[in-house]
């Protein structure tokens, strides 16, 4: 579907004509058209993540070390919510592929409604239990826990906006529009960097000045970015002539039957994916706790490595979104062969390209790791620890990229159970047991942590490749 924002806005009731055009495109062209903006959007999201950590690293090493709690915790929350969007992508893609515009719009409204309600719930629980959460998951050092409370106290309040923005992006991606989320990401990213620069370090405007806020300043910048992104995407989806118009999503009473059915279908398809994420991230937080036990320097080094690796992760995520959309739409059109070809091609390109990126990251570590050391501080230990683990970062990329793309492709096809079992076995059982075993049973330290994640990704990739090849996802009901 050669759909830009303008084309989508003008398509309206002519959606079947757009679909007919899409069926004549080579699957490789369709994949790249979807993947390139999705990858760019993911990289912009990474740029927000990268900007926060780089700026905090230049502010103070403790500020960066504290992100060892905030980073995994917020990523776990947003990842679980992303899983709830598995049904959204599958349903929107199938509906668009079948030319059922009414159902696509009902799914859009139901998805935005669920996102807002879940965001309010998470924000309420997070703010209410902020102290116990930091006490349980946080590091032993009181100073680092205080920094975590400063950051999370602001970002928890942004969860409704973050969830709505994510839902809107997934709706548009499922419809075949990955360019609008890219535009929203550009706007959000620019806002985050500008606010970070002012708020983290402070700024004198002449008539008034802003004191340095450190981690709280980074949290305010991130919150503003989420809010701006949500407003932009809701404005796009609120247009009456948009093929997946979500206008009226805020209504909670007297819902039409189409909306109630769409809500039920989203929940039904997404539940296995949500269960997967909850179980995996319970394990991931235990994994993060193992890292925290290594001390502040190892925590800061790990944050530097994770920040660098997020470039690879978001590239894989972009290919995964493209694969999910293609497979869902092609299955909606009854073209199972094209769905399979799209999934295979997305995985192949992702593995090759992201492995190359991982190798470049390894080769340039001597220049990138010192960027995470604040001026005037001794970063020798941080750079040494990070450098020891960098070869494993590169080694993990083939398995990580294949596992992410195949899992998202299967979800787009409606199979949310296979990724569940793969993630539970790998992310919950294998990774956590290896991490704690290697931390306490050997002297590998941070290197042992990265061995655990590399083995996990490889095992998941092998299992998901077997599932994809068997092809039972072709008959999944959506």
Residue keyed to tokens 């059982």: 429
Give whole-number Cα distances, 351 to 79, 154, 207, 274, 305, in Å.
22, 37, 53, 26, 20
Question: pLDDT at position 276, please?
Answer: 75
- Compute the average pLDDT of residues 244-256: 85
pLDDT band at 478 (very low <50, low <70, confident <90, very high): low
pLDDT band at 236 (very low <50, low <70, confident <90, very high): very high
Rounded to an integer, what distance in angstroms lies between the CA atom of residue 189 and that of residue 228? 10
Element (H, E) at 203: strand 203-204
- Compute the average pLDDT of residues 434-462: 88
CB 61 within 8 A of CB 382: yes
Question: pLDDT at position 379, please?
Answer: 77
CB 177 within 8 A of CB 89: no
Q: Is the pLDDT of residue 133 over 80?
A: yes
Question: pLDDT at position 66, please?
Answer: 73
Alpha helices (H) along 12-100: 15-23, 27-59, 61-84, 86-98
Nearest to 163 by CA among 128, 130, 136, 124: 124
Rounded to an integer, what distance in angstroms lies between the CA atom of residue 185 and that of residue 165? 10
Rounded to the nearest 5°, which phi and psi values hold at 204?
A: -105, 115
pTM of the model: 0.71
Count of CA atoms in the C-beta half-sphere (13 A) of 30: 26
Question: pLDDT at position 3, please?
Answer: 36
Question: pLDDT at position 320, please?
Answer: 87
What confidence tens digit (pLDDT) does each residue in 75-126 have? 778 878 877 787 888 889 888 888 888 999 999 999 999 999 999 999 999 9
Question: pLDDT at position 96, please?
Answer: 87
What confidence tens digit (pLDDT) does each residue in 318-327 have? 888 888 888 8
pLDDT band at 17 (very low <50, low <70, confident <90, very high): very low
- Compute the average pLDDT of residues 126-147: 81
CB 84 within 8 A of CB 118: yes
Rounded to an integer, what distance in angstroms lies between the CA atom of residue 460 and that of residue 48? 28
Q: Is the pLDDT of residue 68 over 70?
A: no
pLDDT band at 48 (very low <50, low <70, confident <90, very high): low
On average, the pLDDT of the chain sits at 83
Q: Is the pLDDT of residue 13 over 70?
A: no
Q: What percentage of residues in the chain have a pLDDT greater than 70?
A: 91
pLDDT band at 301 (very low <50, low <70, confident <90, very high): confident
Please give the residue that has the higher pLDDT: either 165 or 314: 165
Q: Is the pLDDT of residue 18 over 70?
A: no
Listed by start position, the domains of the chain span 5-475
What confidence tens digit (pLDDT) does each residue in 209-222 have? 888 888 888 889 98
Please give the residue that has the higher pLDDT: either 78 or 180: 180
What confidence tens digit (pLDDT) does each residue in 23-38 have? 556 777 877 777 778 7
3-state DSSP assignment of residue 413: coil
pLDDT band at 10 (very low <50, low <70, confident <90, very high): very low
Please give the residue that has the higher pLDDT: either 378 or 458: 458
- Compute the average pLDDT of residues 226-251: 91
Question: pLDDT at position 286, please?
Answer: 76
- 78-87, 112-121, 281-290, 429-438: segment of lowest average pLDDT: 281-290
Please give the residue that has the higher pLDDT: either 15 or 59: 59
Label residue 248 left, alpha or beta by phi (over 0 means left) and psi (-120 to 50 means alpha): left
CB 93 within 8 A of CB 405: no
Q: Is the pLDDT of residue 467 over 90?
A: yes
pLDDT band at 45 (very low <50, low <70, confident <90, very high): low
What confidence tens digit (pLDDT) does each residue in 413-427 have? 888 888 888 888 887
pLDDT band at 315 (very low <50, low <70, confident <90, very high): confident
Question: pLDDT at position 468, please?
Answer: 94
Question: pLDDT at position 456, please?
Answer: 92
Q: Is the pLDDT of residue 59 over 90?
A: no
């Amino acid at each position: 579907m050669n759909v830009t924002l303008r084309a989508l806005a003008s398509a309206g009731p002519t959606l079947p004509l757009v679909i007919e055009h899409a069926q004549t495109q080579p699957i490789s062209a369709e994949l790249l058209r979807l993947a390139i903006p999705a990858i760019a959007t993911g990289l912009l999201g990474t740029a927000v993540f990268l900007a926060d950590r780089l700026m905090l690293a230049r502010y103070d090493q403790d500020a960066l070390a504290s992100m060892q709690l905030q980073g995994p915790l917020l990523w776990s929350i947003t990842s679980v919510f992303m899983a709830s969007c598995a049904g959204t992508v599958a349903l929107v893609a199938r509906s668009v592929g079948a030319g059922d515009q009414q159902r696509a719009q009902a799914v859009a409204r139901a998805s935005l409604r669920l996102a807002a309600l879940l965001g309010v719930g998470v924000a309420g629980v997070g703010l209410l239990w902020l102290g116990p959460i930091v006490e349980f998951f946080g590091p032993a050092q009181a100073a680092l826990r205080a920094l975590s409370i400063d950051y999370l106290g602001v970002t928890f309040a942004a969860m409704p906006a973050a969830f709505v923005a994510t839902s809107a992006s997934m709706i548009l991606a499922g419809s075949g529009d990955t360019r609008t989320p890219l535009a929203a990401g550009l706007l959000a990213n620019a806002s985050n960097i500008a606010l970070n620069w002012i708020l983290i370090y402070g700024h004198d405007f002449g008539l008034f000045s802003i004191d340095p806020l450190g981690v709280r300043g980074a949290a305010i910048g991130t919150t503003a970015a989420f809010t701006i992104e949500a407003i932009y995407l809701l404005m796009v989806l609120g247009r009456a002539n948009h093929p997946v118009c979500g206008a009226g999503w805020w209504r909670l009473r007297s819902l039409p039957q189409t909306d109630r059915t769409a809500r039920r279908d989203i929940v039904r398809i997404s539940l296995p994916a949500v269960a997967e994420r909850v179980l995996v991230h319970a394990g991931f937080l235990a994994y993060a706790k193992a890292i925290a036990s290594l001390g502040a320097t190892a925590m800061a080094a790990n944050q530097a490595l994770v920040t660098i690796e997020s470039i690879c992760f978001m590239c894989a995520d972009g290919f995964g979104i493209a694969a999910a959309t293609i497979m869902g739409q092609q299955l909606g059109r009854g073209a199972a062969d094209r769905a399979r070809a799209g999934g295979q091609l997305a995985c192949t390109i992702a593995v090759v390209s992201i492995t190359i990126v991982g190798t470049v990251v390894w080769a340039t570590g001597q220049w990138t790791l010192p960027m995470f050391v604040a001026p005037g501080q001794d970063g020798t230990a941080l750079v040494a620890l990070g450098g020891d683990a960098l070869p494993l970062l590169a080694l993990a990329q083939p398995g990580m990229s294949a596992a992410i793309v195949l899992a998202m492709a299967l979800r787009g096809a409606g199979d949310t159970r296979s990724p569940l079992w793969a993630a539970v076995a790998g992310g919950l059982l294998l990774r956590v047991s290896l991490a704690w075993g290697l931390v306490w049973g050997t002297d590998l330290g941070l290197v042992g942590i990265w061995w655990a994640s590399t083995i996990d990704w490889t095992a998941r990739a092998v299992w998901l490749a077997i599932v994809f090849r068997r092809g039972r996802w072709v008959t999944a009901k959506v």
